[in-house]
Structure 1
Amino acid sequence: MPFAQIYMLEGRTEDQKRAVIEKVTQALHEAVGAPKETIRVWIHDVPKQNWGIAGVSAKDLGR
């Protein structure tokens, strides 16, 4: 059972997340031949203040 974890900064729409789940599932299905029914995708919405880039939070960088 393939299991993909995706970490993204918060702020994506439900439609964008739906597209990520669909496309990651399709990619794993094609790459390893796993049945789609066995593939799991977990999206982690990370608060911008909890994501650091070069020593500064993404929030402080305006991301």
Structure 2
Amino acid sequence: MPIVSVKMAKGRSLEQKRKLTKAITDSLVSVLDVRPEWVSVLIEEYERDNWSTGGELHIDKFGPGCGKQAK
């Protein structure tokens, strides 16, 4: 039973998370030859003020809209 953990900044829509988990599941089914119901995907979301890279908080380094495509 494959379990995939995805860690990402908060801000993605429910529809984006649906597409992500479907794509991950489909890929594992194809590559590992397992049933879709055997695949679990865990999404952990973090506030940008609780995540840093290189000693700088992402909220400061990238701003509040980081990770979102421009419309």
| TM-score, scaled to structure 1 | 0.93
Root mean square deviation of aligned Cα: 0.8
1:8 Cα deviation (Å)?
0.6
Query: Does residue 60 of structure 1 match 2:60?
Result: yes
The residue identity in structure 2 corresponding to 1:33 is D
Percent same amino acid among aligned pairs?
29
The residue identity in structure 2 corresponding to 1:28 is L
Q: Which runs of 4+ in 1 moved over 6 A?
A: none
The residue identity in structure 2 corresponding to 1:53 is T
Aligned-partner Cα distance in 1 for 2:30–2:52: 33
* Structure 1 unmatched runs, 5+: none
* Structure 2 unmatched runs, 5+: 67-71
Any residues of structure 2 matched to 1:1-63 within 5 Å, and which?
A: 1-61=1-61, 62=63, 63=66
Q: How many residue pairs end up in the alignment? A: 63
Aligned-partner Cα distance in 1 for 2:48–2:19: 21
